[in-house]
Chain A
C-alpha cells in the first residue's frame, strides 16, 4: 500500500526557512522511474506545484519560486524534503507531497494528506 506523510514545523516566522519532510511507504524513491513532488494550497485556494525530485536525483522547480526552493531526498530513509527560504505570510498553506511514476507519466498517482504551515510574526 502506497502512502506518503508530510511533516513540518506548523508555524514559523517571516524570513525563516521552512523545512518539510515527506515519509514514503509502499514504494522506494530510488526505484527506476519514481519521483516525488511538492504541491501547496493556501486555504480556500487552488493548487500550486512547487518542485519534483526523481529516482536518479534529477529535479525540477517552479520558476516562480525556484530561487527559494531546494528539494532533496534520502534514499536510506525513503524520505523526500523541501526547503523554502525567506518565507513570508504568502507561504501560509497546506503542503502536500505526492508520488509520480515517470514511466506512466507526469501525473501524481498518490498523495499525502498534507501538512498545514502558518507563517506569522
Chain B
C-alpha cells in the first residue's frame, strides 16, 4: 500500500495569513493526489485533485502543487470558514490511502 505521510498534525494561524500542508507518498503516485476539508456536521469537501486541479466551486485561495512524491496544499489569505481538518488521499492505485490529517485552528 502507498503510505501517505501528512504534516503538520496541528497548525494554528490567523485569518488573512497563508498556510501550507504537506503530504509525502511512499512511492510514485504520479500527479494523483486529492485534498479534502472536513468539518463537524458537514459532508467532506473535495478541494483539489490531480495534485493541482481546483474542484468546481472551490475558491482560488486554495492551491495545490507537486514535487516528485511531495505534495503541498496552500491556503492563501485564510478565511474564518477555512478552519477545520484537512486530509490528502492518493488516487493513483488501489487501495486508496489517506494521510493522517492536519487540524487547522484559529490562532
Contact = CB atoms under 8 A, between A and B. Distances in A.
A86 B101 CA distance: 29
A110 B43 contact: yes
Contact of B94 (A60, A96, A110): A60
Given A46-B98, A46-B101, A107 B41 contact: no
Interface of A: 4, 37, 46-49, 60-64, 96, 98, 104-114
**Chain B contact residues (Cβ within 8 angstroms of A): what range?**
20 to 34
Contacts of B14: none
26 contacts: A4-B43, A37-B96, A46-B87, A46-B99, A46-B101, A49-B95, A49-B97, A61-B95, A62-B94, A98-B44, A104-B49, A105-B49, A105-B50, A105-B91, A106-B32, A106-B92, A107-B49, A107-B89, A107-B91, A108-B36, A108-B46, A108-B89, A109-B49, A109-B55, A111-B44, A111-B46
Contacts, number: 62
Interface of B: 32, 34, 36, 41-46, 49-50, 55, 87, 89, 91-92, 94-101
